[in-house]
Structures are given as C-alpha cells and as structure tokens.
Amino acid sequence: MKRRAFLITGGVVGGGLMVGVGGLSYVNNKIEQFSGTGMGEGHSLNAFVRISPDNIITVAVSKTEMGQGVYTSIPMLIAEELEVDLSQVKVVHPQCEGPYANLFFANMTPRDFENGLTTMEKVFSFLPNVMTGGSSSIIDSYDHMRIVGATAREMLIAAAAKDWDAKTEDCYADNGHIHNKLNGQWKYYGELAEKASKEKAPELPQLKARSEFKIVGKPSKRLDVPDKVDGTAQFGLDVRLPNMKYAAMRHPAFVAGKIVSVNNVAQVESMPGVDKVVIIDEGVAVVAKTTWHAKNAIAALDLEEKEHPELTRKDAISSLKKVLEGEPAKVWEDEGDIETVLENAEKVITSDYEVPYLAHACMEPLNCTVLVNGDKAEVWTGCQSSTFVLNGVSEGTGISKENIKTNITYLGGGFGRRSETDFVRKAAKVASNFPGTPVQLVFTREEDMKNDYYRPAVVSRLTAALGNGNILGMKKKVAGQGPLFQMMKRNIPFMPMNQEDDQMATEGMRDLPYKMDAAYTDMSCIELPVPVGTWRSVGHSQNAFFTESFMDECARELGKDPYEIRKEMLGNEPRHLDVLNKLAEMSNWKSELPEGKYRGIALHKSFGSIVGQVVEISIQDKNIKVDKVFCVIDCGKIVNPAIIESQMQSGIVYGLTAALYGEISVKDGKVVQNNFPDYQMVTMKTMPEIVVSIIDSDEYPGGVGEPGTPPIAPALTNAVFAATGDRVRSLPLARHGYRFV
Amino acid sequence: MEIKVNGKVYPVDVEDSMPLLWVLRDVLDLTGTKYGCGVAACGACTVHIDGVATRTCMLPVSAAVGKEITTVEGISTAPGLSAVQRAWIDHQVPQCGYCQSGMIMAVEALLDENPDPSDDDINGKITNICRCGTYQRIRAAIKTAAQYRIQSIATDQPSKS
C-alpha cells in the first residue's frame, strides 16, 4: 500500500488531487485508488460510490456509526441524487484516506464547493483528519454527499447516452435505471457501471431542489437496524479471528498514578488459561485464552502502586473555586460595558454553580483487536476516528501507517469517549508481544469507568444587572480544565493549544441569543491531573445548565414568567423565537397543571441547532417523577426526521441521567465509582415520556447527536424550583437528597 | 461438559465456574450476547435458560448444563423474525444497538410470562440499561410485539428487512 505516497505525488503537493475547481477533482479518483479492498464488487464511479453488475450500490460512509444514524442518513444523501432506492445500498467504512476527511473541523464551517478548499481544509485532507464527532456528520456531508451522488449519476447518464448514441439531455436517471426519454430505452446502473467509471466526472453537477427530494427529509428506516435485532451486528468486541487471544488490563489505581512493580508475574502466568503478563507504560495486561481468564488474571495481579501527589491532597472542586476568585486566564466575550451596566443596575444578583466530573460509560466497554505481522498490522475496533486508530497502532507497534489496515466496526456508543487513541495504542502494544496472533484487549467495565477522559468538573459565577423589569447585562465567569486542550494534547500533539484558548470550555456560556446591553464571559484555567475530554455536547453540557438556570433566577427575581422573559429578549433571533413559541404552544405552557405537577423551561443553541425543552415533574417529599419532556428542535434542513427524533430522545436521556445521578468523584487519589451499581442510569422505570417537534427550516443543517443534551438539566432544575423553591445550583440532584421514581 | 444452545449440543472443555456469557462469546463465538458490566447490573448478557430470562455474566456454565439455552441468535424461527424483533424494526428501536440483544431477550421472556404487560409490569421486569436512551421506543415496541403475539401475526414469518 502506498496511499500516502500517492496523495503526495498526485495530491496536495502536486496540486491536482485536492485543489481542483470546487475542490472536487478528487471525486474523479476511484475507490480502489484509496481503499482498494473491502469495498465490494463492481466498478467505482468515485471515492464513495461503487456499483456492481447486479445493481448493488456500495457507498463508503466515512463517518462511524455509533447510534446516531449516519449509516442511514449519509446514504440517503447519496441515494437522493444518484436516484436509487435505499434498499439497493450497502454501506462500508473506508480506509483512512484524504477524500474521507471531515473538513468541517478545518474552519468549523461547511465547505464552499464553488470556491474550492481553504488552506486548512487542504491540511485536513492531507493529514487526513477522518473523524466523527462534534455533531458534524451531516454538516460536513449535506452538500458533499449529494454532490458525490449527482456526479455518479451524471457519469451513468453520459455512459448510457454514448451507448445509445443519444444526447445526454435526452437521458435521465430514475430508480436505478438510465432512461432515454425519446424512445423509451432503459438500462440498469449495473449494466452501465463499467463504462460510466471511465467517464470524466463533472466538476460541479446540478443538484436537485428540495421540492424534488424523494428520500431526504422523509423518515427512512435505518439500514443498520435489521442487524441490530438479530445479534449479527458486529461491534469491536464481537470481532473473532482464527487463533485469537483475549486480553484485559489493570491501569494504575490512582488517577494519574503509576504502577511501580508487579510482584507475582510467575504466579499469574501459571493461572489456568493465561499466556503472558505484558507490562506496558500505561499498565499491566494479561493475555489469555478467553476474556474471562484474562479478567481473573488481572484481578490476581499483586501491584505496587504510586499515587499522584497532588490528587491525594487536593479536592478538584475546591481548587476550582479558588481559581475562580483569581484573575481570569482569558476574556472570551466583552460586549458593551459590563462594569458600568452592573454599577447602574437597580439590582444585581449573583449565583455560583458547579458540576462534577462525568464518565461516558458507553454500553460497549472500550476494546480493540490488533494483529501484528512483521512490518504490517491490521486493527479492528469501533473508534470515532480512523486517523486516531492509525496513530494508536503506529505508536503502539512502531509500524508505519501505510502498512496498517483498519477495520472500523459499529460502535457500542461513542459519546466522545471513542474520539481518543488510548485503547487502540494499548491494544497495539500488547499485540506486539504476539506477532502473528490477533489479540483483543478489553477494558473491564470497572477499568473503563476508572480510566475515562471525563467531562470536566466546572464551577461558575453568574452575575446579572437587573433594571426596568429587564436583564440589562450578564457577567459570566467559568473555571475548569479544557476538554479540547487535553484531547488535542493527547491525540494531535503537533497542533498545540493553550488551555485558555479552549473554545469548548466556554461554548454555550458566551454569545447567548438574549439581547442585553452588556455581556461578558471569562475563563479561569487549572491544571489538574484528572484526565478530561469531550463528553456528549462538551462545554454546552454544563454551560447551558449555568446560563439557563440563571435566566430562570433572573425571571423569578423580576417577577416574570420564564417563557415570557426569554421571548422578550429574543427580538433579534427569529429561529430561537420560533423554537420557544412552538415549545410554549406544544407544552401548553400557559395552562394550569394538576396539583403536584410542575414545569421548567430551557432553550439552548449548540452545534448549529436550537433546542428548547419543557420538563414536567411530579414531586412528593423528595421523590421526583419526571413525567414528560417536550422538545422542539430547529436543525435547519431535515435529512431523516425519525433519526432526529431518536437523537433528541437519546440526548435527553443522556443529560437526564447526568442531572439526576451523574458524578465521578476522586477520593484519596482514586476514582470512587466502579460500575453501574454506583454510576446509576435512567431506566424504563424512570424514563419520562418525550414528545419531539422538528421545525423544518430552510437553513443549512445543524447537528442532532448532541444538541438534545444541554437543555434538559436546567429545564429539570427549573421545574424543581417551581415545585419547591429549592434552587439547585450543583449537580447531580441526587447529591441534594432527591430520589427518582 | 456439554451445553445445549439454540437446540444444538456443544461439547465445551472449560472450567465449571466459567460464566456462561464467556463460554457463549469466547468459546462458541456466539457474540450476539453482550458483555456490559460483569456484575449482572445492565442486562446486556441476558439469554433464556429453560425459558427464563437470565443474566449470564455471573452464572457458572455448570448451572446451565442439561438445560435449554436460547440466545438472540436462536429466537428467530428461520427464515423469519420473532414478533419482538419485528416490533423492534417497526419502531426503529436500536441506536448504537449494543444493549438490544439483551433487551430483546428480556422482553421475549416478559411476553412469554405476561402476554399483555402494563407499563408498571414493563417497568418492573425490564431493568436493562440502554445508554442511548431508547426506552420510549422499547416501550412502544413491547406493546406492538404483544399485539403481534396475541394476533399470531408472528407466524407469517416475513423475511428480515
């Protein structure tokens, strides 16, 4: 394999591959030039579409499927323009190659196909940065994948026209056939694929108007669901290879600690089913005949451990509170003159909030399977980034990336935890000890929970200037660790970032949609040894709790209805206003609730989408029943409303679980929580009814995987305040003696 | 020893104390049954043992010898899907899908015992964890599956689609 060499000679450096008009010329390159194997039978029309003689359309989906529905929504975009039925489509995940890079992350803005790639987009193609996350899959794909489908369609039309000696304008594509409208002749795509593959791709094909869509915008059934109901869907942990061995590992018990020595290697190696104790920098693994033998063996390891000196002395939250009192590291927002507005206010109110560390707790514990064979390696795992998979295997084995083949399986949940290299690198190091034998490394649930990159614990102080019955200004201070800062340092070390420049720490805290005379946000940073990372909705997950709770506090202070005050302040934001009004209407906000029932509201924009939620609860003593959640989303143009609905439900349950129970605590230098019994989840019993309404707007699509999560915590605690007068300013609610029924 | 899984007898050369989950997954390569927690808390490892929904990550294989073990791979009566699986497709329940084998097995057993469960019955019996939060669609699908079973539509056995 020489793909990187190919990219350099034919690519960015040579100026041809990535830099053509509209940045599209690489579409001319066929799948086999990139990901030669595993792409199915037939002839490829570009780097994403291959058509077999029996009319199977294989599409390369470069985003990983972790439940968010990309193995359906992205094929829908291609199929729409290619004029094929989704039932003809088969999805494969390509190798880590330039055309499959997520270019949204280059500038945090969708690509401009008319004007070509920006410098950063070229860099991201060249790396390449193949990554699924930040709710960016549809943002990155909405235009791109339709263009890919349309390009293939035009090539099929051109091939048919040649065959029939007809004009291309007399031919059209419909339902997997090219027709000649003059004489009624038609051919299957499968018959034309070989000739079409030799046609030149049009630079920028004509795309359909939304009014012509047959697939996009409608609730297509998911392509991955059949395999997920009969046990055949393959997750990373389901990979089975001939002569495979199974491994488990112990990480240091102390956070950021160290295993100094292993005292009983020989004893553990003599346990039944055990092959070998493998000591790596990150911990101690045992390779065995089955996962169970490996699990038993790691439990039997007698380890000498060293704690991290700082963590046994320091409590994270009190350290953060101290930092918040000092000078901020960076001012992120300074609109108007906040100090003057505060000085002149009729009344000033201030509240401090805090949230704890949170674990991702994907249902499928982290795992990775690696086969090292001489100077080549192959890897099987569910990871949000094949770039990180290549990095991890290369770091762990010393094998160069062009000699590594990736197999990206379904992910049993990602939520940001699988946008890391650690589990891949560790598996690669362990497998290096068994050349020629595939080794599957799994983190037990306990190791998974204790060795997460947690949602940071964060404290904040919000101050509002009130006057004339309004909020005149808001000063927001936040202190915490930077999740993106750490994630970049770990995984993309050649792109260093200062912690105070971590935009994810203040996202959703600044740039609020509410019109005020002054708005100010700053960030104070702290270096703590607790590893943090990206957790579903990242900074928004706590910042929406801070700001939308505080909006409620301001409304109460002013004697205003929490819906009305938002409405008054959203004069310049028609999309927010539409979401809010729709939410009030569907939740019947102005109606009286039956006795013992209360409601709360929150509104938040994240990942390009605006979501509003109203939560209805019943409460008796400290027993809360979350009865119902109304949810309205404006995510711009809709691709699959059924998936949007399920992502709203999913995001709400994820955020609700955190709001009720979620807390990772560090005591005596160790993570306290072990497993689901002490890291509780919402279940059928505690699940509210969720009603979702989607506003179909004409805006460019936003994300849907994460935006459902941020508003639920403040909507819930605002309802608790309505019920009890108890303003919950720190999560989870369980910490305050509430129970959930 | 021998164990009988989905009607087929397998000789297995393992320790008596090895949990059934790992025998299924790592010895027989029946990977539809999942590992989630290892402490019988999440339900991802649920199979039927003589028709009873059982979490297998802590169950010694010796306890299943001589019994009928049914896994997710064994519930569709070829070439069709079970009523529960069909309802799961109708309601588009799975997201990441990792917990769904265990969910489906728990629901099959619930409906065997209680053909028309109320919401409270469901809440009491289906205690599996789904991190994607598919519970609302699970509830709707359980009710549809109950109807399919009652109406015996399941015997139509349409193919997987």
Give the chain A residue nearest B29 (alpha carbons).
A240
Is B88 an interface residue toward A (CB < 8 Å)?
Answer: yes
Beta strands, E only, A237-358: 245-250, 258-262, 274-280, 283-288, 303-306, 330-335, 347-355
Distance CA A419, CA A487 (A): 9
Same domain, A433 and A393: yes
- C-alpha A591/C-alpha A517 separation (Å) is 32
* Contacts with B71 from chain A: Cβ below 8 Å: 231
User: Strands, DSSP E only, in A315-445?
Assistant: 330-335, 347-355, 367-373, 376-381, 404-408, 439-442
Nearest to B37 among A233, A654, A675 (CB): A675
Q: Does one domain contain both A98 and A30?
A: yes
Which residue in B41, B88, B128 is closest to A675 by CB distance?
B41
User: Domain end: A442, A473, A498, which one?
Assistant: A442
Does B34 contact A222 at a Cβ distance shorter than 8 Å? no
Residue B10 contacts A where some CB pair is shorter than 8 Å: no
Question: Residues in chain A, how many?
Answer: 741
Half-sphere exposure of A269 (CA within 13 A, CB side): 11
CB A291 within 8 A of CB A365: no
B35: which chain A residues are within 8 Å (Cβ-Cβ)? 237, 291, 365, 442
Chain A nearest CA to B61, separation (Å) = 12
Closest in A229, A240, A411 to B100, CB measured? A229
Kindly tell me the burial class for residue A641, based on how many C-beta atoms sit within 10 Å of its own C-beta (0-12, 13-18, 19 or more). Answer: middle
Tell me whether residue A731 is in a domain: yes
| Statement to judge: residues A219 and A253 lie in one domain | no
A170 φ, ψ (degrees, to nearest 5): -90, -5
Can you count the helices (H) and strands (E) in chain A? 23, 28
Paired residues of B54 in beta bridges:
B47
- Shortest distance, CA A650 to any CA of chain B (angstroms): 5
Eight-state DSSP code of residue A658: H
Q: Is residue A449 part of a domain?
A: no
**Model pLDDT, residue A115:** 86
Which residue from B minimizes the CA distance to A361? B131
Task: State how far the Cα of A646 lies from the Cα of A626, in Å rounded to an integer.
Answer: 19
pLDDT score, position A321: 94
Judge contact between A713 and A659, C-beta under 8 A: yes
pLDDT of A494 reads: 86
pTM score, two decimals?
0.95
* pLDDT at residue A320, rounded to an integer: 93
What's the rounded Cα separation, in Å, for the pair A547 and A528? 25
Are A230 and B97 inside 8 Å of each other by CB? no
Would an 8 Å CB–CB cutoff place B117 in contact with chain A? no
* Ordered structural domains, chain B, with CATH: 2-74 (3.10.20.30), 83-154 (1.10.150.120)
Chain B closest CA to A290's CA: distance in Å? 6
Q: Identify which of A291, A362, A690 has the shortest CB distance to residue B136.
A: A690
Residue A447 forms part of a structural domain: no
Q: Give the C-alpha separation, A407 to A427, whole Å.
A: 14
Instruction: Report DSSP state, residue A589.
Output: T
pLDDT of residue A204: 84
Q: Does B61 contact chain A (CB < 8 Å)?
A: no
Among A442, A471, A492, residue at a domain's last position: A442
| Same domain for A270 and A160 | no
Give the separation between CA A640 and CA A646, rounded to whole angstroms: 10
> For the complex shown, is ipTM > 0.90?
yes
Q: Give the chain A residue nearest B86 (alpha carbons).
A: A229
Measure the CA–CA gap between A55 and A262, rounded to whole angstroms: 58
**Would A157 be classed as within a structural domain?**
yes
Cross-chain residue pair A68–B95, CB shorter than 8 Å: yes
CA–CA distance, A693 with A292 (Å, rounded to integer): 46
Q: What pLDDT shows up at residue A689?
A: 98
Q: Are A416 and A533 in contact, with CB atoms under 8 Å apart? A: yes
pLDDT reading at B25 higher than 50: yes
Local structure of B153: helix, strand or coil: helix
How high is the pLDDT of residue A29? 60
Residues A279 and A257 in one domain: yes
Given the DSSP bridges, would you call strands A367-373 and A458-467 parallel, antiparallel or unpaired? unpaired
Q: Which residues of A touch B104 (CB under 8 A)?
A: 229
Nearest C-alpha in B relative to A691: B136
Query: Which residues on neighbouring strands pair with residue A693, listed in sequence order?
Result: A632
Residues A289 and A246: beta-carbon distance below 8 Å: yes
Q: Do A353 and A297 have their domain in common?
A: no
* Contact (CB<8Å) A687/B139: yes
Q: How wide is the angle at C-alpha A455 spanned by C-alphas A451 and A458, nearest 5°? A: 130
Q: Which residues form the domain of A48?
A: 3-229
**Which residues from A are below 8 Å from B93, CB to CB?**
225, 229
| Both structure tokens of A388 | 């990180």
Q: Report whether pLDDT(B153) > 80.
A: no
CB pair distance less than 8 Å for B39 and A415: no
Number of structural domains found in chain A: 3
Three-state DSSP string of B87-127? HHHHCCCCCCCCCHHHHHHHHHHHHHHCCCCCHHHHHHHCC
A329/A375 same-domain check: no
Q: Say yes or no: B69 contacts chain A, CB-CB below 8 A.
A: no
Q: Helix crossing, A641-660 with A538-558: angle to 10°?
A: 70
CA pair distance A420, A683, nearest whole angstrom: 28
The pair of three-digit structure tokens given for residue A550, joined into one six-digit string: 């505080």
- B38 CB within 8 Å of a chain A CB: yes
Q: Rounded CA gap, B121 and B103, in Å?
A: 15
CB contact under 8 A, B123 and A684: yes
Q: Give the end of a domain, one of A194, A229, A264.
A: A229
CB nearest to B31's CB, from A66, A228, A238: A238
The answer to whether the CB atoms of B123 and A222 lie below 8 A apart is: no
**Rounded Cα distance, A93 and A71, in Å:** 9
Cα–Cα nearest to A646, from A125, A248, A72: A72
What is the distance in angstroms between the Cα of B26 and the nearest Cα belonging to chain A?
Answer: 6
Report the pLDDT value the prediction gives residue A41, as an integer from 0 to 100.
80
Considering only CA atoms, give the Rg of chain B: 15
- In degrees and rounded to multiples of 5, residue A103 shows phi and psi of -85, -10
Nearest to A676 among B18, B89, B129 (CB): B129
Here the tokens at position A140 are: 């990155």
The rounded distance, in Å, linking the Cα atoms of A698 and A227 is 34
Q: Is there a domain that residue A208 lies in?
A: yes
Distance of CA A462 to the CA centre of its chain: 28
What secondary structure does DSSP assign to A161-224, as a single string? HHHHT--GGGEEEETTEEEETTT--EEEHHHHHHHHTTSPPPSSPPPPPGGG-SSTTS-PPPTT
Place of tokens 């946000």: A521
Q: Are A13 and A19 in contact (CB under 8 A)?
A: no
For residues A285 and A269, is the Cβ–Cβ distance under 8 A? no
- Tell me how far apart the 2 most distant CA atoms of chain B are, in Å: 44
Question: Could you say which DSSP state residue A9 is in?
Answer: H
In order of A47, A135, A498, A527, B36, the CA distances from A365 in angstroms are: 32, 22, 31, 28, 7
Instruction: Identify each DSSP E strand in chain B by its residue range.
Output: 2-5, 8-11, 46-49, 52-55, 68-70
| CATH number of the structural domain spanning residue A699 | 3.30.365.10
The DSSP H or E segment spanning A79 is helix A70-82
Mutation to test the A interface, candidates B25, B30, B96, most A Cβ within 10 Å? B96
Query: How many angstroms separate the CA of residue B71 from the nearest CA in chain A?
Result: 9
* pLDDT tier at B148, thresholds 50, 70, 90: very high
Cβ pair A237:B34 closer than 8 A: yes
Structure tokens at A81: 């323009």
A683 → closest Cβ in B88, B129, B137 = B129
Question: Do A275 and A320 share a structural domain?
Answer: no
Asked whether residue A448 is domain-assigned, the answer is: no
Within 8 A of A238 by CB-CB distance, chain B residues are 31
Number of CB pairs < 8 Å for A and B?
182
Residues A500 and A485: their CA atoms lie apart, in Å, by 8
For the residues B115-143, what does the mean pLDDT come to? 98
Q: Both A19 and A140 in a single domain?
A: yes
Helix axes B100-113, B135-150, angle to 10 degrees: 40
Task: Let me know whether A558 and A669 are in one domain.
Answer: yes
Report CB contact under 8 Å: B31, A675. no
Residues A647 and A575 in one domain: yes
Q: Which residues of chain A have pLDDT under 70?
A: 1-38, 312-314
Per-residue pLDDT tens digits for A283-311: 999 999 999 999 999 999 999 999 988 77
Report the DSSP pairing between strands A89-92 and A57-60: parallel
Question: How would you classify the pairing of strands A347-355 and A458-467?
Answer: antiparallel
Indicate if A420 and A472 belong to the same structural domain: no
At residue B158, what is the residue type?
P
Element containing residue A612 per DSSP (H, E): strand A609-620
DSSP A521-574: EEEEE---SS-B---TTHHHHHHHHHHHHHHHHHHHHHT--HHHHHHHHTTT-H
Q: How do strand A518-525 and strand A330-335 relate by DSSP bridges?
A: antiparallel
